[in-house]
Amino acid sequence: MDTKISFLYLSEPDMIKAGVTDMPRCVEVMEDLLLTLNRGDYVMGGTNHNSHGTQISFPDHPQFPGMPANADDRRFMAMPAYLGGNYQMAGMKWYGSNVLNKQKGLPRSILMMMLNDKDTGAPLALMSANLVSAYRTGAIPGVGAKYLARKDAKVVSIIGPGVMGKTSLQAFISVCPKLDTLKVKGRGKRSMDSFLAFVKEECPQIKEVIVCDTVEEAVRDSDIVGVNTTAPVKEKDFLYIDEAWVKKGALICMPSAARFEEEFLIKRCKKVVDNYKLYEAWAEEFPYPSYELVQIIGSKFTDFLHEGKIAREDIIDIADIMTGKHPGREKEDEIIIYSVGGMPVEDIAWGGEVYRNAVQKGIGMELPLWDVPKMA
């Protein structure tokens, strides 16, 4: 028997060479992924098989020397999953997060991913995953825009010009060829300067850029609104969007949280999610009301469901629109809110695609695990 096992190590430069920043292809892969989820050919964590992941957070006042104290976005997280369909792979994204990293010139979260053989469990690849995560998260809104945005969409607004703002903009552009005007609202000069430089270099389709002073200015007259801000702890402090600001026919893509008037959310917008079962799992894992804890708008929808203010059929899975089970945009003036939660199966899908590219192109470093296991 051949018991030798090795795996591929892929640094961030390796990942770039292998195509991790190819947004049009990433949108295609995420579209196929969402259809795979709709068929049920996947398993994520938890007894419900739909958990986002398992998180380590810290106490406010640690009793032991060296233990980190609770702080804004300070955590460790494991996100395991198996994905079938065209992928046939297991894996896990693991990361640590600390918002203070930015003061050191580091990303808020530093991510790694392991891909494994689905049968033996042997490692296939260990890869830098910051760009995997950034691009798959941006691509899911791109799939939403493909199916939910007006075909004549011209103006896109990005609220929160960080990493997710950059990649979601790329995804919107890849599926909406008439977009040529960008409105952007940010807070810090450094992130805004970085975003504008990115747009100039990576988004030639954009002909006009408008830097906005307020959220209202950014939202008004926009055909697509991408909300990518980090939410405060309390819902009452979430970014506020007034219905009066929202253009008729707009699509609001939200891998984040915001406050809207309850009447608007319940009665005057279409509510679409990337995978309903993810929000169902969050509703089990976090006590009602869960929106403040999860900070993804789809959890506001399930809170409404818990309260009896909407029915289950009012929350629409994007894949049901993609497969024709449910109508997408039914009226040109319909306002649609699309919730993006983020799932480890997305990391496996895009990480697996990049891994196969790397193998084909001879990119990366092969590392040995063993020739013969000492204890088998």
* pTM of the predicted model as reported, rounded to 2 decimal places: 0.94
pLDDT at residue 131 is higher than 90: yes
Residue 230's nearest CA partner among 158, 139, 134, 162 is 162
Q: Please tell me the distance from the alpha carbon of residue 30 to that of residue 25, in angstroms, as a whole number.
A: 9
Query: Over the stretch 12-58, which tens digit does the pLDDT of each residue have?
Result: 999 999 999 999 999 999 999 999 999 999 999 988 899 999 999 99
**Is the pLDDT assigned to residue 99 strictly greater than 90?**
no
Q: What is the pLDDT of residue 1?
A: 79
- Supply the pLDDT for residue 181: 98
What pLDDT does residue 219 have? 98
Tell me the average pLDDT across 179-203: 96
Cα 281 from Cα 275, distance rounded (Å)? 10
- Enter the tokens of residue 123: 């490692």
Q: Which of 17-31, 256-270, 280-294, 360-374 has the lowest mean pLDDT?
A: 280-294
Q: Which residues contact 239 (CB under 8 A, 6 or more apart)?
A: 159, 215, 227, 229, 231, 256, 257, 258, 259
Predicted pLDDT of residue 88: 97
Nearest to 243, CA basis, from 225, 265, 218, 270: 265
Q: Tell me the pLDDT tens digit for each residue of 299-351.
A: 999 999 999 999 999 999 999 999 999 999 999 999 999 999 999 999 999 99
Check whether 73 has a pLDDT greater than 90: no
Alpha carbon distances (Å) from 26 to 77, 84, 88, 352: 24, 17, 18, 11
pLDDT at 233: 82
Assess contact for 136 and 30: CB atoms under 8 A.
Answer: yes
Mean pLDDT of all residues in the chain? Answer: 96
Residue 290 in this model has a pLDDT that exceeds 90: yes
* Long-range Cβ contacts of 105-113 (<8 Å, 24+ apart): 107/163, 108/73, 109/73, 109/133, 113/347, 113/351
Q: How do residues 102-127 score in pLDDT, each as one tens digit?
A: 889 999 999 999 999 999 999 999 99
- Joined together, the tokens standing for residue 223 give 């055909």
Chain center to CA of 262: 25
- For residue 230, is pLDDT > 90? no
List the one residue out of 137, 87, 94 whose CA is nearest residue 354. 87
> 201: part of which helix (H) or strand (E)?
helix 189-202
Q: Does residue 194 surpass a pLDDT of 90?
A: yes
What is the arithmetic mean of pLDDT over 150-167?
96
Confidence check: pLDDT of 179 > 90: yes
Q: What is the pLDDT of residue 360?
A: 98
DSSP 61-129: S-SSTTPPPP-TT-EEEEEEEEE-TTT-EEEEEEEEE-GGGGGGT--SEEEEEEEE-TTT--EEEEEE-
pLDDT at site 188: 87
